[in-house]
Amino acid sequence: MSHEQRRGWGRGRGRGGRGRGFSSHGESECPGGGRGKPPPHLKGREIGLWYARRQGQTCKDKERMERAVVRMDESREEHITRLLNAVQTTNNNAKRTPDDDSWWSMDNDRDSPSPPPRQTAVKPKASVEQLSKSICQEKQNDTISDLDQQLKQELLKKRTDFRYLEMQRFREKLPSYSMKEEIMEVINSSQVTVISGETGCGKTTQVTQFILDDWITKNKGSTCNIVCTQPRRISAISVAERVAAERAELCGRGNSTGYQIRLESQLPRKQGSILYCTTGIVLQWLQSDQNLDNISHLVIDEIHERNLQSDVLMAIVKDLLLRRDLKVILMSATLNAEKFSQYFNGCPMLHIPGFTYPVKEYLLEDIMEMLRYFPKDTDKRPKWKRRFMQGRIDRPEKEEKEALYVEHWPEFVRRLQGRYSASTIEALELVDDEKVDLELIVELIRHIVLKGEDGAILVFLPGWDNISTLHDLLMAQVMFKSDRFIIIPLHSLMPTVNQTQVFKRPPPGVRKIVIATNIAETSITIDDVVHVIDGGKIKETHYDTQNNISTMTAEWVSHANAKQRKGRAGRVQPGYCYHLYNSLRDSLLNDYQLPEIVRTPLEELCLQIKILKLGGIAAFLIKLMDPPSREAIRLAISHLMELNALDRREELTPLGVHLARLPVEPHIGKMILFGALFCCLDPVLTIAGSLSFKDPFIIPLGKEKIADARRKELSKNTKSDHLTVLNAFLGWEEAKWHGARMERDYCWENFLSSNTLKMLSNMKEQFAEHLLGAGFVSSRNPKDPKSNINSGNEKLIKAVICAGLYPKVAKIRPSFSKKRQMVKVYTKSDGKVSIHPKSVNVEEGEFHYSWLVYHLKMKTTSIYLYDCTEVSPYSLLFFGGEISINKDKDQDTIAVDEWIVFQSPARIAHLVKDLKSELDTLLEEKIRNPQPVDWNETKTRDCAVLSAIIDLITTQESDVTKNFAPRFQKNY
Ligand code: CDP
Ligand code: MG
């Protein structure tokens, strides 16, 4: 049985658009279902079946009545009929060539020259790829020895520079420094080396310098080009700056050390250098430099994090080892070095013993005993038992763990008896360990503050909700309101101003309390922490291949996380770490978090594998250290085939090639291409940027309600989160034009991150550069008027969003609750879902159309659509899936992928279908042979077909309110 059927949103029921007006009742109610009694000869179960059939029948009838109608006025119908006749006649008479647009010209008066063929498309100026290659340029043989000499002289001179010497004194104290010779010996004598060591022992900053200085000293500095990959942008920059400072140099600018991250770089000199970059940058180089010929040492850092890109890079590098002169150094913070060494055929491992002060650890039973804590919850049934009995656990490996937990519980209690009070043992039973007990944390903080040593307290919590609630709980206590406390929430979406405060040591007598996500585990180091409270949970995404949905839930930490958290307490003096889980749970924690590759959808990666020519998709993926499941691979490939990015032989289609080259996931790539083809480039690039990076809104502590209201205002009744981001961006651009102060005020008033907006602006330029390179547009400026002829057309922008996001479609149905006028939302595969509280549509009671498209759907406490935009029937018909024309009883219908059904006279339905197929042909040609659409030449076939479609989309009336006037305004 398919999931779809299980959830009761099978085709029969899912068909049909909601009717005009929200006055009729909803689908599930279908009350009464008509009068009449079952025939008297029916007995028992048969009577039940009779009622069920009749009920179903009535629902279908209702749906039939409610379907939105696809209309076309007479003059449009006539125009499109003529257009299609002309297209089809010409199709029959003329053999079309891809470059030939003039064939459409019926009266042959087209005199403008054809657009330049693809090959002569304007070449972009130095692209990111070219920049990246600049460090890998051909070595100039004749100058090498001179250069080697020069590099050596420079290094010797440095050793008399007092800034260098001062730094040297710091470096010498690092644990890695005393192992310098040993490290170099292993690296020089083997092709691959694994180095592990505690955070802060000097792997990232020192090992690269040991290598460079070793080669320079040996007179081969000019052939040494070290590249060190980092999982995060911020660490690539900060580490490069740190190393440059240790070498008494400026970062980049042709010196020895620099960095490169997407859209930003400070490049070092071309020879004899260290470059820190994000892992994605190296993957991008591989597109044009398959052997990484100009890198002498590739250092892959933080491999223990097991993020998707470093796992992929390791698999690629394994094959690159045929290049015998390439050295690979793998660096990991914790001790699973054996696994990596085994993956590289038992290569040598080195461990750098680090120094941290001892940290005393407490588990939940110790904490409860110490505080004499008893949960306030009055329900006397152990929560974990209830959960387990109810079968509410969704992943097999989790279920196994819970079964073990239940099995060992009695033995665990026996072990505690005598050592802990009866009250603590009872409390342990009653604790709801599905949630982090914030009341307990408040008690614990009070205890530390009143009885513990001085020093900052760092609390690890899984997400923003917890952070904000704990903050409120603390602030509700008189004690914490005084200026003897600085309480700082730390989350990646917080404004950066708050984040710098984190690093400052408070004045004596003032206690710093930082409440953070796992961002404080490795990314951000707070030196003065003495007490760590480990909530024991971490937000983790998983990909449920059976239901094709991503989930994000707070899961138990792994031993590796717990160890890392503990380590944060012992940086400056002996510390204390409180873990909010008991010793039984501790014994069941995973050693490491599951690698990202087995927790995420694989579409983008599959395209990357093809563009990097790494062979068959599955054949490559099974070479990974922990290969993803066959089902996940199969799903990704089939999604890419549906998207027409891969053909039946799993080769890239022309569309696939473009999508693989764009540095975004395939659906967003498709949106970008459509934005270019339909000449609404600038707004679509803003939306694509925010979907692939993040939206610019920040979460202001305690002002969530005002921020929600501001977002709603910015939505300007577009019923679209995507257009809300666009409006925010346009407002920011305008404010910026008026000066820095206006910009600051605008961001402040609307709770926007100016950094994210800047990043989006840079990303847009990068996308435009790609489009220019591929030939889709004629300028690298996203705002070029020629690319933005239709940028003021809100309905068209929504349609282009639909083109990108399809088939992520949800159906809107009215709710009849008297209290709340919120709609109900359904997807084909999940049945009823919810709109996320942060979406501008969450409390929307009235939509113009009955369908939404969304980008992120995630299961947390329920299945949420995080962002959505309402879309019109014509958008779905032209930019959705396959069209079919049917008759449902006496009703003519037109349906998209047989699921999204509208009423439509057969005549109109055929017209729409033919026009859509004409659009598909046109798009295919454009993708095969990219050229900007010439909108001045109204007589070209392209322009005629596209204009007809845009006209239909733009003039389509609302299903609900007639003459809806677009509120979106922007002059291009
Ligand atoms: O890579 P690993 O965690 O082993 O250490 P690292 O990043 O090389 O850092 C070694 C030391 O350099 C740290 O303990 C810090 O004291 C210092 N460091 C710094 O001051 N600023 C940075 N951006 C990075 C490191
Ligand atoms: Mg490091």
**CA separation for the pair 506, 486 (Å, rounded):** 8
C-alpha of residue 127 to centroid of ligand 2, in Å: 29
Closest CA to 681 of 409, 408, 480, 935: 935
Q: Which residues of 884-911 are buried (b: 16+ CB within 10 A; e: fewer)?
A: eeeebeeebbbbbbebbbbbbeeebbbb
Q: Which amino acid is at 74?
A: E
Is residue 812 a contact partner of residue 850, using CB atoms and an 8 Å limit?
yes
Q: Tell whether ligand 1 has an atom less than 6 A from the beta carbon of residue 242.
A: yes
Q: If you count them, how many residues does the chain have?
A: 972
Q: Tell whether ligand 1 has an atom less than 6 A from the beta carbon of residue 204.
A: yes
At residue 524 the predicted structure's pLDDT band, cuts being 50, 70 and 90, is low
Question: Does 505 have pLDDT greater than 90?
Answer: no
Among 172, 205, 299, 525, residue to substitute to test ligand 1 (most atoms within 8 Å of Cβ): 205
At residue 841 the predicted structure's pLDDT band, cuts being 50, 70 and 90, is very high
Is residue 821 a contact partner of residue 815, using CB atoms and an 8 Å limit?
yes
Is residue 196 a contact partner of residue 352, using CB atoms and an 8 Å limit?
yes
Q: What is the pLDDT of residue 497?
A: 45
C-alpha of residue 191 to centroid of ligand 2, in Å: 21
Q: Which ligand number lies closest to the CA of residue 198?
A: 1
Q: How many CA atoms lie within 13 A of 702 on its CB side?
A: 9
How would you list the strands of the sheet with 883-888, edge to edge? Answer: 883-888, 891-896, 900-903
Q: Where in the chain is the domain with CATH 1.20.120.1080?
A: 627-792
Q: What is the pLDDT of residue 531?
A: 98
Q: What is the pLDDT of residue 390?
A: 47
Ligand 1 atom closest to Cα of residue 235: 23
Q: Tell whether ligand 1 has an atom less than 6 A from the beta carbon of residue 562.
A: no
Least confident interval from 44-48, 767-771, 968-972? 968-972
What does pTM read for this prediction? 0.76
Q: What is the pLDDT of residue 431?
A: 87
Q: Tell whether ligand 1 has an atom less than 6 A from the beta carbon of residue 238.
A: yes
Q: What average pLDDT score do residues 343-372 get?
A: 94
Q: Which CATH class is domain 130-352?
A: alpha beta
Least confident interval from 172-181, 495-504, 939-948? 495-504
At residue 840 the predicted structure's pLDDT band, cuts being 50, 70 and 90, is very high
Q: What is the pLDDT of residue 54?
A: 73
Least confident interval from 21-25, 490-494, 600-604, 741-745? 21-25
Strand, coil or helix: 861: coil
Measured CA distances, 813 to 30, 124, 824, 839, 850 (Å): 13, 48, 5, 17, 7
Q: What average pLDDT score do residues 214-229 get?
A: 96
Structure tokens at 550: 């991503």
**Nearest protein Cα to ligand 1, atom 20:** 242
C-alpha of residue 279 to centroid of ligand 2, in Å: 14
Q: What is the pLDDT of residue 383?
A: 54
What does the pLDDT look like over 152-206, one tens digit per residue? 999 999 999 999 999 999 999 999 999 999 999 999 999 999 999 988 889 999 9
Question: Does 945 have pLDDT greater than 80?
Answer: yes
Among 183, 242, 521, residue to substitute to test ligand 1 (most atoms within 8 Å of Cβ): 242
Q: What is the pLDDT of residue 500?
A: 61
Structure tokens at 326: 């390439």
Q: What HEC string does 610-623 produce?
A: HHCCCCCHHHHHCC
Least confident interval from 18-22, 321-325, 333-337, 939-943? 18-22
Q: Tell whether ligand 1 has an atom less than 6 A from the beta carbon of residue 240.
A: no
Q: Which ligand number lies closest to the CA of residue 300?
A: 2
Q: Tell whether ligand 1 has an atom less than 6 A from the beta carbon of residue 203.
A: yes
C-alpha of residue 499 to centroid of ligand 2, in Å: 21
Instruction: List the shell of residues around ion ligand 2, using CB closer than 5 Å.
Output: 203-204
Which helix (H) or strand (E) is 298 found in, with range? strand 297-300
At residue 633 the predicted structure's pLDDT band, cuts being 50, 70 and 90, is very high
C-alpha of residue 257 to centroid of ligand 1, in Å: 16
At residue 934 the predicted structure's pLDDT band, cuts being 50, 70 and 90, is confident
C-alpha of residue 202 to centroid of ligand 2, in Å: 7
C-alpha of residue 161 to centroid of ligand 1, in Å: 22
Q: What is the pLDDT of residue 693?
A: 84
Question: Does 51 have pLDDT greater than 70?
Answer: yes
**Nearest protein Cα to ligand 1, atom 16:** 200
Q: What is the DSSP letter of 652?
A: B
Strand, coil or helix: 864: strand
Q: Between residues 243 and 822, which one has the greater pLDDT?
A: 243
Q: Which residues contact 563 (CB under 8 A, 6 or more apart)?
A: 334
**Nearest protein Cα to ligand 1, atom 19:** 242
Q: Which ligand number lies closest to the CA of residue 167?
A: 1
Is residue 118 a contact partner of residue 931, using CB atoms and an 8 Å limit?
yes
**CA separation for the pair 548, 2 (Å, rounded):** 12
Least confident interval from 636-645, 672-681, 936-945? 936-945
Q: What is the pLDDT of residue 65?
A: 67
Summary mean pLDDT of the chain: 84
Ligand 1 atom closest to Cα of residue 354: 4
At residue 270 the predicted structure's pLDDT band, cuts being 50, 70 and 90, is very high
Q: Tell whether ligand 1 has an atom less than 6 A from the beta carbon of residue 16.
A: no
Q: Between residues 137 and 918, which one has the greater pLDDT?
A: 918
Compute the C-alpha angle 942/87/786, nearest 5°: 10
Q: Which ligand number lies closest to the CA of residue 173?
A: 1
Ligand 1 atom closest to Cα of residue 352: 4
**CA separation for the pair 480, 628 (Å, rounded):** 48
C-alpha of residue 201 to centroid of ligand 1, in Å: 7
Q: What is the pLDDT of residue 35?
A: 53
Question: Does 684 have pLDDT greater than 50?
Answer: yes
Question: Does 20 have pLDDT greater than 50?
Answer: no
**DSSP string spanning 90-127?**
HHHH----TT--GGG-TTS---SPPPPPGGGSPPPSS-
C-alpha of residue 239 to centroid of ligand 1, in Å: 8
At residue 432 the predicted structure's pLDDT band, cuts being 50, 70 and 90, is confident
Q: Tell whether ligand 1 has an atom less than 6 A from the beta carbon of residue 200.
A: yes
CATH topology of domain 359-594: Rossmann fold (3.40.50)
Question: Does 123 have pLDDT greater than 80?
Answer: no
Question: Does 126 have pLDDT greater than 50?
Answer: no
Least confident interval from 120-134, 473-487, 540-554, 829-843? 120-134
Which helix (H) or strand (E) is 903 found in, with range? strand 900-903
Q: What is the pLDDT of residue 89?
A: 61
Q: What is the pLDDT of residue 658?
A: 92
Closest CA to 115 of 678, 654, 658, 776: 776
Q: What average pLDDT score do residues 612-621 get?
A: 95
**Nearest protein Cα to ligand 1, atom 18:** 242
Q: Tell whether ligand 1 has an atom less than 6 A from the beta carbon of residue 567.
A: no
Ligand 1 atom closest to Cα of residue 207: 8
Q: What is the pLDDT of residue 412?
A: 96
Q: What is the pLDDT of residue 81?
A: 85
243-252, 261-270, 567-576, range with greatest mean pLDDT = 243-252
Is residue 639 a contact partner of residue 667, using CB atoms and an 8 Å limit?
no
Question: Does 23 have pLDDT greater than 50?
Answer: no
Ligand 1 atom closest to Cα of residue 198: 4
497-511, 523-537, 675-689, range with greatest mean pLDDT = 675-689
C-alpha of residue 238 to centroid of ligand 1, in Å: 10
Candidates 3.40.228.10, 3.30.590.10, 3.60.21.10, 1.20.120.1080; correct CATH number of 627-792?
1.20.120.1080
C-alpha of residue 346 to centroid of ligand 1, in Å: 28
**CA separation for the pair 58, 241 (Å, rounded):** 70
**CA separation for the pair 285, 134 (Å, rounded):** 11
**What sign does the dihedral 680-682-688-691 (CA atoms) show?**
negative
Q: What average pLDDT score do residues 499-514 get?
A: 84
Q: Which ligand number lies closest to the CA of residue 246?
A: 1
Closest CA to 470 of 529, 537, 515: 515
Which helix (H) or strand (E) is 883 found in, with range? strand 883-888
At residue 966 the predicted structure's pLDDT band, cuts being 50, 70 and 90, is very low
* Residue 693 CB neighbour total at 10 angstroms: 15
Q: Where in the chain is the domain with CATH 3.40.50.300?
A: 130-352, 359-594
At residue 544 the predicted structure's pLDDT band, cuts being 50, 70 and 90, is confident
Structure tokens at 611: 């563009």
C-alpha of residue 238 to centroid of ligand 2, in Å: 11
59-68, 109-118, 885-894, range with greatest mean pLDDT = 885-894
C-alpha of residue 574 to centroid of ligand 1, in Å: 20
**CA separation for the pair 583, 428 (Å, rounded):** 11
Which helix (H) or strand (E) is 327 found in, with range? strand 327-332
